[in-house]
Chain A
Amino acid sequence: MATRQSTEQLLQRIEELENRLAESEQLIEAIKAGEVDAFAVNTNDASEIYTLQSGDYAYRVLIEKFGEGAVNLTEDGLIVYTNTYFYELLRLPYEKVVGTSFKDFVHRESLETFDALLQRSLNGSAKGEINLKVGNKIIPAYVSLTSLQPRLATVGMIVTDLTDKKQSDRYIESAALNLKRANQQLESKNHELEQSNTELASFSYVASHDLQEPLRKIQTFSNRILEKEKEKFSEKTLDYFQRITAAALRMQTLIEALLNYSRTDTADVVFKQTDLNALVDDVKQNLRDVIEEKSAVIEYANLPTLKVVPHQFNQLFTNLVSNAIKYSKPNTKPVIKITAEVVPVDEMQLEDAYAHDSYWKISIADNGIGFEPQYEHRIFELFQRLHSKAEYQGTGIGLAICKKIMQNHRGFIKATGVPDVGATFHLYLPVTKG
């Protein structure tokens, strides 16, 4: 009978069961250790392969070593798993974190936000920023929650510590604020500068304009006296009187030049495409008396057409050409050569070159008395003269006007001179595209 088994048979059965139990325990240990990816089970001589749901070892290691917090929560917010990063972030051991409600680590001001995120994540996923509290410290964190339904009734959560980012944000914010303040200061300084420039221009305009009035009176009454009383004058008185009128005329020239200088950046400034060949033709025409008187030769050809303020460039070339004639050598026919070429900025070796790739370089070279190289900057300063009035007449304003005109055109002017050989003035104008 089947129920009446021998003791021997029973012992054999126990041994069999014990072996199977040992096998099962080994299997469980292996599964726990993550050594099993799949196992086969023999049933009725057919083997079936089972893979483990939690058998993806690679992913588990990845999560464990992850550089951000990985937490598994129940739908009520109880922590069932945390990786090393997260419990270290909380400065608590694993056992004190697992089993605790995540809300215990959320700053009270973020509780509402977190509740809302958790609720939303139950239907899929939710992301947001909250503050965690660790002891007395607040850790800003970005959390991304994903429901693991329907497989598991838990929510997976990735926690990113935003402390560093917030700190950088604050640095950037404060840097931006400082930059804004600096810009505002710069703007106001610019405004002040503009204002004082305008004031200066209007001052010199008004000053020279009002200076003309008393001068005109001196000249008018001198003329009246000369006209009416000239015959009664002694030779000495007549000489004195002529010196008075000559001085007054010089003053008039100075004031007019000064007015011209102050008008250079205030008066109508309209840029137009201008053929410099035609412009120099005009200048030659205007200066024909002095050109004829000194038998001066002006050579130029193939000058470019540039976008300039025509009347300012006319003034510029008039000043430079008449200077070249004025400072010619006695008994030498003045020869003035005007040439133009495009030069790349890096070949110019000029400290005040602006940010342009290339410049038009227009040179006006003469064979006059030249000047010592040490004066190449001084000659462009207002009222600076290298010669006595008896030697060469001049106001000391002409080249200052040239400099200002070039500045108005975003260019600049340079001069080189060799005594008794000649002077060359170089005009640099940025080459504009289009």
Chain B
Amino acid sequence: MHKKILLVDDDPDDQLIFIDTLQEIKSDVECVTASNGVEALEYLSTNDAAPSIIFLDLNMPLMNGFECLERIKKNHQLKEIPVIIFTTSNSPLDQKRTRELGAKTFINKTPDVAMLKTKLQDILTTRF
């Protein structure tokens, strides 16, 4: 089975850190990136092989993470894909709102790389 992850994040530094960390854990996972909600939905609608997990930033231009999440969960073809929020926000309100919209997990972006590694590892082990 082809292992594919979609990362939706407009920050190239965060993309880099994410991909590097991912590679250290599982080098056979393909990571596709989109830099906002519009790009993400475009990718999801044009590609037959859907990603196994979507990592979604909240604060993005054009279409933010909330709206993107809502649209994914309303789409019958996409709604089963687990969405994990990956954001700098540590607001409980944002956590609550994304959970209500159907996001599975909430990962806070911190300088703690080791923590990100552990969390990613947990998620990937259960999924793949």
A residues with a Cβ closer than 8 A to B are: 212-213, 216-217, 219-224, 227
Contacts and interface: CB of A to CB of B under 8 A. Distances in A.
Nearest to B111: A219
Given A216-B109, A223-B111, A223-B112, 18 more contacts: A212-B88, A213-B88, A216-B88, A216-B110, A216-B111, A219-B111, A220-B13, A220-B17, A220-B110, A220-B113, A221-B13, A221-B17, A223-B113, A223-B114, A224-B17, A224-B20, A227-B113, A227-B114
Interface residues on B, range: 10 to 19
Contacts of A227: 113-114
Contacts of A212: 88
Nearest to A245: B111
Instruction: Determine the main DSSP class of A at the interface with B.
Output: helix
Contacts of B13: 217, 220-221
Contacts of B110: 216, 220
17 contacts: A213-B88, A216-B110, A216-B111, A217-B13, A219-B111, A220-B110, A220-B111, A220-B113, A222-B111, A223-B111, A223-B112, A223-B114, A224-B17, A224-B20, A224-B113, A227-B113, A227-B114
A212 B114 CA distance: 20
A252 to B, nearest CB: 8
Contacts, number: 25
A103 to B, nearest CB: 82
A221 to B, nearest CB: 8
Contacts of A223: 111-114
A417 to B, nearest CB: 37
Nearest to A219: B111
A216 B116 CA distance: 14
Contacts of B88: 212-213, 216
Interface in B15-52: 17, 20
A95 B89 CA distance: 98
A224 B88 CA distance: 18
A219 B17 CA distance: 12
Nearest to B20: A224
Q: Which of B17, B20, B112, B113 is the most central at the interface, judged by chain A CB atoms within 10 Å of its CB?
A: B113
8 closest Cβ pairs, A-B complex? A219-B111, A220-B111, A223-B113, A217-B13, A223-B111, A224-B113, A216-B111, A220-B17
Contacts of A217: 13
A219 to B, nearest CB: 3
A169 B109 CA distance: 71
Contacts of A216: 88, 109-111
A216 B110 CA distance: 7
Contacts of A213: 88
Contacts of A222: 111
A216 B89 CA distance: 12
A222 B13 CA distance: 13
A335 B109 CA distance: 40
A221 B16 CA distance: 10
Interface in B112-127: 112-114
A216 B115 CA distance: 14
Contacts of B112: 223
Nearest to B112: A223
A212 B88 CA distance: 9
A106 B111 CA distance: 93
Nearest to A214: B13
Nearest to B115: A223
A221 B111 CA distance: 8
Nearest to B114: A227
B61 to A, nearest CB: 15
A131 B112 CA distance: 90
Contacts of A224: 17, 20, 113
A227 B114 CA distance: 9
Contacts of A219: 111
Interface in B80-128: 88, 109-114
A213 B10 CA distance: 13
A227 B20 CA distance: 13
A212 B20 CA distance: 22
B109 to A, nearest CB: 7
A220 B113 CA distance: 7
A216 B111 CA distance: 6
A250 to B, nearest CB: 14
A331 B76 CA distance: 69
A208 B17 CA distance: 23
Nearest to A224: B113
A213 B112 CA distance: 14
Contacts of B20: 224
B120 to A, nearest CB: 14
A218 to B, nearest CB: 8
Q: Which of B20, B109, B111 is the most central at the interface, judged by chain A CB atoms within 10 Å of its CB?
A: B111
A216 B11 CA distance: 12
A223 B111 CA distance: 7
A128 B20 CA distance: 96
Nearest to A222: B111
A211 to B, nearest CB: 12
